[in-house]
Amino acid sequence: MKKLIQAFAAVFLTAMALLYFVSYLNSSQGYSGDNTLTVYNWGDYIDPELIEKFEKETGIKVIYQTFDSNEAMMTKIAQGGTTFDVAVPSEYAVSKMKEEGLLVPLDHSKLPNLKYINPRFLNLSFDPENQYSIPYFWGTVGIVYNPDMLGGKKITSWNDLWDKDLRNQILLVDGAREVIGMGLNSLHYSLNDTNKAHLQEAKQKLDALTPNVKAIVGDEIKMLIANEEAAIGVVWSGDAAEMIWENEKLDYVVPKEGSNLWFDNMVIPKTAKNIEGAHKFINFMLDPKNAAQNAEYVGYSTPNEKALEYLPKEIANDERFYPDLDSIDNLEVYENLGKRMLAYYNELFLEFKMHRK
């Protein structure tokens, strides 16, 4: 027991020494307290040149960390212990983080560039009055497809995917809300449906799609579709834009039955140590020129109305990714379904994946 205690003490002292060294190193380089900012974002979701620009303009050193899911991000913030000054959760995650007290209210007086956000994207159900979140990017879930590989056939509907001629031609993103949502939408049910009979009906219909599904994949879907390994993919609009950039034969459509309208948002987590710097960063990203540069680099749609003036016309005028806003009234934002119902969605999705084997 004595040796165990000694070993534990040695590990503890080593850890403390390492923390002191990192703190000393940061301080010696001028990176401490109010002049560092830790940003927690999705991978490759900001133009690195903008981080450099922000650092030069403000003298604040940015520490950029990434996550690969809203759930992983929320868990890390809830656990505490790691300082995150700005994070970029999706809309349903904002709602959940509010409920769990994981967010700091925003001071709009420190965000003068908020005036450039299109009012259509403000005061939404997941955060009325934008007390805790500011839109970063927005988009849709839809279908990217290669007409040449389909003999010139056009896709306009979710139900088109059940065509028997599409055997082994479809790639799906590995997301429960997206795939179960596709099944619900194909039956004209809401993406946020909690009726278990409707959900079972959607699951059964998805099972019938199995012969047409080549694989359920992650980020590699972009490469596979662009390289014509499959003719059709169910994807997020920004990924579709990137694929079309790589392969101009591709097209993208939001199915006529409806789909998901999603938002990723800038927030200040409860772990923040530099709240003043966090407001400066958010306001910097809301500058129209910066927002345009970021949208062009990332490929997703900016909610910044003024930024559209600085984007190349072929991007700003592409109605697949910047549709007339009156035409998106049949799209739905994901709601926070609660732990039990979300677990049920995940269970159905897992059953669907197992059914394919």
Cβ atoms < 10 Å from Cβ of 23? 12
| 265 closest CA partner among 175, 107, 138, 177 | 138
For the record, the structure tokens of 120 come out as: 């259509």
3-class DSSP assignment, residue 173: strand
* DSSP state for residue 214 in the 8-state scheme: E
Distance CA 179, CA 349 (A): 7
Phi-psi region of 48 (alpha: psi -120 to 50; beta: other; left: phi over 0): alpha
Per-residue tokens: 61: 């050193």
The span from the CA of 326 to the CA of 147, in Å, is: 27
345 has binding-site annotation: no
- The DSSP code sequence of 299-356 is -SBP-BTGGGGGS-HHHHT-TTTS--GGGGTT-BPPP---HHHHHHHHHHHHHHHHHT
Exposure of 313 in the CB half-sphere (CA atoms within 13 A): 0
Cα 133 from Cα 297, distance rounded (Å) = 22
Identity of the amino acid at 256? K
Return the HEC string of 88-155: CCEHHHHHHHHHCCCECCCCHHHCHHHHHECHHHCCCCCCHHHCCCEEEEEEEEEEEECHHHHCCCCC
- Give yes or no for a contact between 37 and 274, defined as CB atoms under 8 angstroms apart: yes
| DSSP 8-state secondary structure symbol assigned to residue 266 | E
Annotated binding site for spermidine: 92
Annotated binding site: 92
